[in-house]
Amino acid sequence: MIITCPNCNKQFKIENSLIPDDGRDLQCGSCNHIWFYNIQEKKTEVLELKQQIISEDIETNVENKEDKTEEKQQPEEIIKTAINNRKKEKNSEKQKNIATLKKTENKVSKFFSYLIVFIISFVALIIMLDTLKTPLINVFPGLEIIIFNLFETLQDIKLFIIDLI
């Protein structure tokens, strides 16, 4: 069967077996528009020709057809509202899923932002300690052993990371 995208009017050839009786969501490969597609069966009646046509028959047939079209329109409206309700439910579910994903992504991005700030601050502190090592040791003589041990520990961590890579 050939299906047309309602957004960009691009036509696609799709096998009938891929679409169930109750319909399904389709996505256009061209514009990425998503819509709900339902196979609508069109009932065609076989028309018979008669040699004699009476004007009264024509008038009654026209009235009957008008009644039938009014009767057909009511179920179609019910079906359309049901389809629209399904679409709205699916869209609301998708929006809820997107909102939860954004919240988790936001939490993860905040965590990594804090982690990066912590690492940069720690590196800046180490650079300052290395730069001001001599004046600090002159003021605080017991600080020499602590700074030496800190630099040795950092060197060990550096070698450990290199070994992991």
Q: Are strands 24-27 and 11-13 parallel, antiparallel or unpaired?
A: unpaired
Domain that holds residue 156: 132-165
55 domain-assigned: no
Are 113 and 71 in a shared domain?
yes
50 domain-assigned: no
How far is it, in rounded angstroms, from Cα 140 to Cα 131? 15
User: Does the CA dihedral 20-21-22-25 come out positive or negative?
Assistant: positive
% of residues, the chain, pLDDT over 70: 76
In this structure, of 11-20, 59-68, 100-109, 112-121, the range with the lowest mean pLDDT score is 59-68
31 domain-assigned: yes
How far is it, in rounded angstroms, from Cα 145 to Cα 100? 51
Q: What is the CA radius of gyration of the chain?
A: 37
Are 106 and 148 in a shared domain?
no
Are 67 and 113 in a shared domain?
yes
Residue 154 CA to its chain's centroid (Å)? 44
Are 108 and 139 in a shared domain?
no
Determine the 3-state secondary structure of 33 from DSSP.
Answer: coil
1 domain-assigned: yes
Q: Give the tens place of pLDDT for each residue, 36-89.
A: 888 775 444 455 555 555 555 555 555 555 555 555 556 667 777 778 788 888
Q: Model-level pTM?
A: 0.36
123 domain-assigned: no
Are 136 and 111 in a shared domain?
no
77 domain-assigned: yes
Are 139 and 112 in a shared domain?
no
Q: How many domains does the chain have?
A: 3
58 domain-assigned: no
Residue holding tokens 């629209």?
84
157 domain-assigned: yes
Q: Give the tens place of pLDDT for each residue, 117-143.
A: 999 999 999 899 889 989 989 999 898
Q: What is the pLDDT of residue 149?
A: 92
